[in-house]
Structure 1
Amino acid sequence: MQDLRTRRRDDAAEAASSRSDLADNPFRADRDRIVVSPFFARLGGVTQVVSAAGSGLLHNRLTHSLKVAQVAGVISDRLLASADSAELLGKLGGLDRDVAEAASLAHDLGHPPFGHLGEQVLDRIARHRFGLADGFEGNAQTFRILTTTDVRGPSAVGLDLTAAVRAAVLKYPWARLHRPDPHPSTMPNPPRGAAEPADAPGTGSSKFSAYSTELEDVAQAREPYAGVIEPWQQTVEASVMDTADDIAYAIHDLQDFHRIGVLQYAPVATELGQWLANAVELAGLDDATLASQTRRPGRSLEQLRRRMHVRDSWIVDDDAFAEAVARVRAELVDGLLATGFDGSIEAEQAIAAFSDRWTNRLVGGVVVLESPTSRSGHVTLRTAQWHEVQVLKFVHRRFVLLRPELALHQRGQASLVTTLVDALDSWLGDRDEESRLPRRLHDLVELSHAEFAELAGSAPELLVGATGEPVAGADAIRGLARGRAVIDFVSSLTDRQAVSLLEALSGRSSQPWSDSFVL
């Protein structure tokens, strides 16, 4: 098992790579390769929730990834320190701290400019404009960077990572449509992310970790785990990364918006307090009445409780939910938000204490399950902590993500991404200017064309358009390649690079040189 886990993508390059890596441990060498990649460095300029715009008060994708890796390392150490857990982990394919940390550092590499908003826009454009059935997905883009578009590995195709690290990055270890067969979207209770979006039937899983062009890499990475875990299950190290991501997201984004004054005491206290005071009455409302009253305090939280019953009946517990709401009310609302952030030492200490206390509590609730439900990985949270994470994430969504001011800001960003794709696609279609394309974009077109041409010969069933029709013919393949290349190029930009590149393409910039083409 260990030899297969340390197998690299390109065995022929192994000798050369081992001479160039500073670390002797292959998993630690992978972690180092990820850290020195410019795709990792660019995360410092990519939105986590809202653009940091140079502020030291908001997380970006880089600082988030570093904290996820930190949490993943602690989880790994705690699980391996328990003899019972360590034995079970060995039976499930193994847990190595360096692998979990490497996957955590890499897990957001594929996020495009402007965070999840950019992801949604690029997916829509990829499917509807370019006819790419795979569309765009940040997790799949991460795997594509690690195995294909980053050129810092010894074979100049991807980073040439070990099988264990590549498998650990596969948070959703399936393609949008075709693999594995049977596809997890057809399961009676699909894994998280595997189900099709309710508003887009026939488009495949809403979340997935590989495009059709990278399925061979998925198969090789997952080979060591055949017969050990199900094809649709995360590896243990992927599960550690996923759990660490949930913990970091639940805590750190709340701190950010407390710091900048967005997360206010009164509305959060009222929502949680009203639900706690009227839980029995709210539980008696029919769904239609509840939906019509969502602006009234306590109703949104009751809707969350009901959604949890539908989606996660394997763990949801009303008593645990009520206790989680009470704990969040006491520690977040009455403890942290009750005193506004004023930049003082006392305020910073309060945030640090809140973060430490919650991180320790949630990490302390991590357990290993031998036979988890399809909705959970082998590494998950105990019932109490699982409910607390759901409530913390609810507060973030309800009182930050759904704010009208953020929606206004994001509509502008969506328009920017759309216009930028249009401008680059137009440039690609201009034969008079084709020779002056950014070299990176030109190379990505050639790479994508080679990939789609190979698929047409080796696995034509994977080569379908966005509506599921077979794609054949040189022109159709060139069209797919052009679309994928533009999406690859735009998704590799930082927020600032996307803005400056559009300014240059639209004639609003007076500067002839730009760093927007480097990736």
Structure 2
Amino acid sequence: MHDHATDARALRRSGDQGTVPVSLDLAASPFRVDRDRVAASPFFARLGGVTQVISPSGSGLLVHNRLTHSIKVAQVARAIAERLRRNPFHTDLVDKLGGCEPDVVEAAALAHDLGHPPFGHLGEQVLDRLARHRLGLPDGFEGNAQSFRIVTTTDVRGPAAVGLDLTVAVRAAMLKYPWTRLSHPDPHPRTMPQPPRGAGEPGDAPGTGSAKFSVYVSEIDDMLQARLPFQGRIPDWQQSVEASVMDTADDIAYAIHDLEDFHRVGVLQHATVAAELDVWQREQLELAGMSRADLHAQTRRPGRSLELLRRRLHQKDNWVVDDEAFAAAVARVRRDLVDGLLSTPFDGSVEAEQLVADFSVRWTARLVEGVTMLAEPTTRTAHVALAPDQWHEVQVLKFVHHRFVLGRPDLALHQRGQARLLTSLVEALDQWLSDRYERSRLPRRLNDLVELAQGEYTELARTRPQVLAGATGELPEGRDSLRRLARGRAVVDFVASLTDSQAVAMLEALSGRTGQLWTDAFVL
């Protein structure tokens, strides 16, 4: 690519050209500097204490947390980027679309989960509900948007103490869903005949805006600056090539290592998974002839849930779904996962560890080899995508995880407790912030976050008031309503930056259940 294009991609948030490293940066490459800044961030270190799906106690050598997940995504993303650059068939297309640097995708992959709150995806849902309904934030909460907010705004480890001052290319590569929940860009991608993945409204909450989005209204300018070098190359709702590499790597890592984890802790049972896949394989034709209502009524019986998945894929992803490829994917997962990995219960032995490692390495290599470039993708996919065979395999692997892990009552029991804990914590902090007699004794970080958000919302009310309107179109009026928005955003920023154990310890203290005055779980 030409130097001036590279320079545009290396522009930092501060306006610095990015090609001259700050004296304290160790690397010469601006994108390598970004990778180092993310890796040195306390928000990154914190991910070691954030659940992926299950608590890591008593499960052999390793169960993934958000930190190990992010490192694996970075490894896979870099491998994909290097393969694309080496393939002469893809070079021209990659350049035309805005470039694909291994250092950029690695930095973005390390940063992609910085905004993940305590307790995994459940924490994300609970915080979003509380942010919208209790704290009155039209934007609510979204883990991807929170990650973008951290690197641009709330992390103070960058040279200017406002975000990490990352380059344009890395920030653009973090934008899996390059739109806000409701207002930007206009027309909003959720109104498209076939909205991009994540842009549609949740079926159970019409009128609330996109289900997934990567930017809060407070960071619109950051998004616009990050997307500038890609203008005219890709539509404004589409991921950059580097973002789609990171997104694909996330899918690959997640599909494989969650299955490893549940095998390790004995949750994924050979018999139940085998029955589901076997019955579907044997009774494909009969199941295909059943009504949707009958399938739903019989979901506890083997084969029914897998047939529902096949139909759902036809509905949502008819650009790629193919019944032969689906059947082949079921057969491969049956052979490799059921007859392979799950055939020997995990007992922590060298042999058991090697089986897990072998499964992981072979599947990662297979899926990475299946990554390809599309010159003209549909709105439901990106320029970088999995080939149809591997795409179907990922759907089946994810199905096994959803059906036999996430649907378990024992997991639900824990998650209901975690949801109540987060709810109580948000309410307690909101009350503390509302108590004018206690204002001088607030946690310093919470105070700083309120001041930051107050400045942001005041500026938005002056320059872009329309983006502060909720789904109803009502605008906040007066300083009190802006202060209320700022308080809400500060509580969300604060809670989202805790580890699982910090959230537990803080609620213990706030509810008077601990006699320990000085705790190492958090600093106030």
TM-score where L is the length of structure 1 = 0.98
2 CA distance for matches of 1:110 and 1:513? 27
Cα deviation digits, residues 137-190 of structure 1 (max 9, x gap): 000000000000001111111000000000000011100001111111011111
- Correspondence 1:27 to 2:25: no
Cα deviation digits, residues 32-76 of structure 1 (max 9, x gap): 000000000000000101222586431000000000000011111
Residue 129 (structure 2) aligned to one of 118, 124, 128: 124
Q: Which amino acid aligns with 2:402?
A: R
Change (3 A) 1:54 1:177: farther
The aligned counterpart of 1:52 is 56
1 CA distance for matches of 2:184 and 2:271? 48
The aligned counterpart of 1:3 is 7
Residue 448 (structure 1) aligned to one of 426, 450, 453: 453
Q: How many residues align?
A: 519
2 CA distance for matches of 1:392 and 1:275? 15
Written as runs of structure 1 = structure 2, the 5 A alignment for 1:226-241 is 226-241=231-246
**1:468 CA displacement:** 3.1
Check conservation: 2:207, 2:471, Cα contact below 8 A.
no
Identity %: 68
- Correspondence 1:412 to 2:395: no
Change (3 A) 1:127 1:54: farther
Change (3 A) 1:54 1:165: farther
Check conservation: 2:19, 2:30, Cα contact below 8 A.
no
The aligned counterpart of 1:195 is 200
The aligned counterpart of 2:291 is 286
Aligned to 2:372, the other structure's residue is in SS state: strand
2 CA distance for matches of 1:517 and 1:468? 39
The aligned counterpart of 1:277 is 282
Q: Which amino acid aligns with 1:34?
A: V
Unpaired runs of at least 5, structure 1:
none
**1:25 CA displacement:** 0.1
Check conservation: 2:19, 2:29, Cα contact below 8 A.
no
- Correspondence 1:497 to 2:493: no
Check conservation: 1:366, 1:381, Cα contact below 8 A.
yes
Residue 144 (structure 1) aligned to one of 141, 144, 149: 149
**1:14 CA displacement:** 5.8
Aligned to 1:50, the other structure's residue is in SS state: coil
Q: Which moved more, 1:431-440 or 1:111-120?
A: 431-440
- Correspondence 1:342 to 2:359: no
**1:378 CA displacement:** 0.6
**1:290 CA displacement:** 1.3
2 CA distance for matches of 1:305 and 1:425? 44
**1:248 CA displacement:** 0.3
Check conservation: 1:121, 1:414, Cα contact below 8 A.
yes
Residue 514 (structure 1) aligned to one of 496, 515, 519: 519
Cα deviation digits, residues 368-399 of structure 1 (max 9, x gap): 11110111111000000000000000000000
2 CA distance for matches of 1:183 and 1:516? 42
Aligned to 2:377, the other structure's residue is in SS state: coil
Residue 430 (structure 1) aligned to one of 435, 446, 449: 435
The aligned counterpart of 1:473 is 478
Q: Which amino acid aligns with 1:3?
A: D
Check conservation: 2:180, 2:214, Cα contact below 8 A.
yes
- Correspondence 1:354 to 2:352: no
1 CA distance for matches of 2:494 and 2:236? 31
Q: Which moved more, 1:459-468 or 1:173-182?
A: 459-468
The aligned counterpart of 2:22 is 18
2 CA distance for matches of 1:38 and 1:54? 27
**1:507 CA displacement:** 1.3
2 CA distance for matches of 1:6 and 1:138? 25
2 CA distance for matches of 1:7 and 1:385? 36
Check conservation: 1:51, 1:495, Cα contact below 8 A.
no
Change (3 A) 1:14 1:155: farther
Q: Which moved more, 1:15-24 or 1:281-290?
A: 15-24
2 CA distance for matches of 1:211 and 1:54? 38
Check conservation: 1:171, 1:242, Cα contact below 8 A.
yes
Check conservation: 1:172, 1:209, Cα contact below 8 A.
yes
Cα deviation digits, residues 274-320 of structure 1 (max 9, x gap): 00000011000111111111111000000000000000000000000
Residue 155 (structure 1) aligned to one of 160, 164, 168: 160
Q: CA-atom RMSD, angstroms?
A: 1.4
1 CA distance for matches of 2:19 and 2:244? 31
Change (3 A) 1:511 1:54: farther
Written as runs of structure 1 = structure 2, the 5 A alignment for 1:66-77 is 66-77=71-82
2 CA distance for matches of 1:16 and 1:358? 40
1 CA distance for matches of 2:158 and 2:62? 35
Q: Which moved more, 1:306-315 or 1:462-471?
A: 462-471
Cα deviation digits, residues 233-279 of structure 1 (max 9, x gap): 00001000000000000000100110110000000000000000000
- Correspondence 1:42 to 2:46: yes
Check conservation: 2:138, 2:469, Cα contact below 8 A.
yes
**1:209 CA displacement:** 0.1
